[in-house]
Amino acid sequence: MAIKEMGETHSVHSNVNLHQPESGEPKVIVEHLKDGLTETIHEKLKECCAVKEVNPLVFVSREQLIQDVEDFASEADMIDLLPILTKGALVAKTPELFQDVEGLSSDEVEILKTEVTHRWKLSKGLYFTVILNCISAAIQGWDQTGANGANLSFPQAFGIADSGAECEAAGNCGSNSWLIGFINCCPYAAIAIIAVWASDPLNTLFGRRGTIFFAAIFSLLAPIGSAVAQDWPQLAVCRLLLGIGMGLKEVTVPRFSTEIAPTSVRGGLTMTWQIWNCMGGVFGSAANLILYRIGPISWRLQFGSAFIPAVPLLLGIWFCPESPRWYMKKGRYRDAYKSLLRLRNGPIQAARDLYYIHVQMKQEEFLIRESEWTKADNMLTRFTELWTIPRVRRATQAASILMIAQQMSGINIMGFYSATVFTQAGSSVRDSLLVSWGFNMVAGAFTAPSLWMIDRLGRRTLLLSTFPNMFWTLLAAGFCFYIPITSEAHLGLIAFFVFLFTAFYSLGEGCCAFAYSAEVFPITHAEVGMSWAVATNNFWATALSLTFPRMLTVMGPTGAFGFYAGLNIIAMIFIFLACPETKMRSLEELDMVFSIRSRTYAKWQVSKVLPWWIKRRILFQDVGP
């Protein structure tokens, strides 16, 4: 059910020649780079409805480019690196014709060739950083899953059970359901209200590594505190502190992965967050299974076990290179180059990426001036600009839709409460925990193929292909609760459709939500934009976590599953109308993608893309690509 992207292009820095004059000579629409781009490029782009990837260096003469590189090297105090910077800039000008660039050594040509033929042959420094980012994500999944298992016993330990003779006699089953929901939603409330907004100043002051280090401290101590809590208020406080660590990682790690990754594999590297979030869930579910028979303290160990992956993260994060874009934002170009040397396979790649990022940031500065915004260091100003600047507002809108869609999909019904749901379906505690483990295994197994698909097929294709399938599988799982509990098919069919739903989720929304949100914001608003996206996600996660125990009691499993199944269709419609494709575009080139008005984009989808899809996919007409 793939839907083609409006104006999709096929190369990373394609030599797009917009509106050449009749003389055949390309009109120079980029002036001296230290002065920014002229108004011409922006006006020409706004004239073109189709999203084009523009490499501004294409329109600069070789002589002018060399002069610009000299000026850049002088301003950045990198004159000693002028030869390699010049070669890197010439490669960035014509990336598809790098073999024609004069002065490249055979080793440099081979490095650039390997980048094309073997996309995943990356540097050790990059892989080490990605591994640490994966550990960060695993902590997240383990934190969530520990509560899933502990939900079966901690309410009884604290006298707040929401089912059974005791609460029925006291008449407080309903209020206890809300109380359990409150304890479970505490981490997500802390993320939405505290952590994501603290992440912006922390990232600005201490960089990506420093912020992740602070997050790891909370992720180490909060699970231990949860394990020794003596009453439910103490547990709630520890869960709030856990949420601070979760939120700092959730904002920072996907953006960190995005900023260090080459364009050709950026989606794949960024979505390792989701894969290892699932793997953390697998480890946490396994811990729940191992510990549930220990006795009255099993829930304490289930909560506390989540501290384990925080240890290697604390020890290893300072050995990673910092984000080069963060250094460049601070004007520390030499440090950025040193980071790129560790993140790329050779100096030629590091020099090319350094200069190209610099050029695109200059282009971004022009968009800032053209839109009359200011590059404020004040977080409140940047937050306001999420809604007042058209380019940033469109990115905010798209990221918000995907983050809300993640909660609308209903995946966290299972992520937070799968053990509870299957216990109500008639399963034993062991079987419920086993199905929860299977749920996380399926999520991890089906997220892994998206490493390849997300950059090949694109984000929109994956999303629009999977949401309809999530609708019918979740609905089918809900109807299976009508099968008598005494039937062997009861639990088996519920688990089958839940696993099928999870597989579709993992191939689409699961792999795309954080990867997409991490890449759509300009560098000037990266931290506050991702903060907003994560806050949006966790606000609705809070709502789900708070309301689902009561919803399950009032509506029953079939009603609750059917409600979230319907939300999948609504989410798909919003994604179709308002979320542009981002695959194979550099972070800076996305400025052009989001320069198109939302109304224009939605109109194009409805009037052009949808009729094309119906004719081609339903009526099987030959209407061209």
pLDDT 10s digits, 241-283: 999 999 999 889 988 888 888 877 877 777 788 789 888 988 9
Domain holding 519, by residue range, is 124-594
Give the C-alpha separation, 422 to 318, whole Å: 42
pLDDT 10s digits, 475-517: 999 999 999 888 888 888 998 999 999 999 999 998 888 888 8
DSSP sequence for 67-86: HHHHHHHHHTT-GGGHHHHH
- Is 514 a member of any domain? yes
pLDDT 10s digits, 88-103: 888 888 877 777 778 8
Give the C-alpha separation, 342 to 257, whole Å: 14
pLDDT 10s digits, 46-78: 444 344 446 777 778 888 888 998 998 999 899
Give the C-alpha separation, 386 to 363, whole Å: 19
**E strand intervals along 254-331:** none
In the chain, the amino acid numbered 37 is: L
Instruction: Region of 620 please: left (phi>0), alpha (psi -120 to 50) or beta.
Output: left
Task: Using the predicted structure, report yes or no on whether residue 119 has a pLDDT greater than 50.
Answer: yes
Per-residue tokens: 210: 């420093």
pLDDT at 50: 41
Considering only CA atoms, which of 515, 543, 519 is closest in space to residue 529? Answer: 519
Categorize the per-residue pLDDT at 145 as very low, low, confident or very high, splitting at 50, 70 and 90.
confident
CATH number of the domain within which 566 lies = 1.20.1250.20
The percent of residues above 90 in pLDDT, for the chain, comes to: 32
Per DSSP, helices labelled H in 292-408 are: 298-304, 310-316, 324-329, 333-343, 347-370, 379-388, 390-408
What's the residue count for the chain?
625
Give the C-alpha separation, 162 to 399, whole Å: 36
Higher pLDDT, residue 233 or 150: 233
Task: Using the predicted structure, report yes or no on whether residue 359 has a pLDDT greater than 90.
Answer: no
In the DSSP assignment, the letter for residue 16 is -
Count of domains forming the chain? 1
Task: Quote the Cα angle for 262-266-271, to 5°.
Answer: 150
Which residues, including other chains, have CB under 8 Å from residue 43's CB and lie 6 or more apart? none
- Is 512 a member of any domain? yes
- Is 421 a member of any domain? yes
Task: Please check whether residue 172 is in contact with residue 271, taking contact to mean a CB–CB distance below 8 angstroms.
Answer: no
Give the C-alpha separation, 422 to 439, whole Å: 12
- Is 288 a member of any domain? yes
Considering only CA atoms, which of 581, 587, 618 is closest in space to residue 601? Answer: 581
- Is 581 a member of any domain? yes
- Is 264 a member of any domain? yes
- Is 13 a member of any domain? no
- Is 621 a member of any domain? no
The pair phi, psi for residue 509, each rounded to 5°, is -60, -40
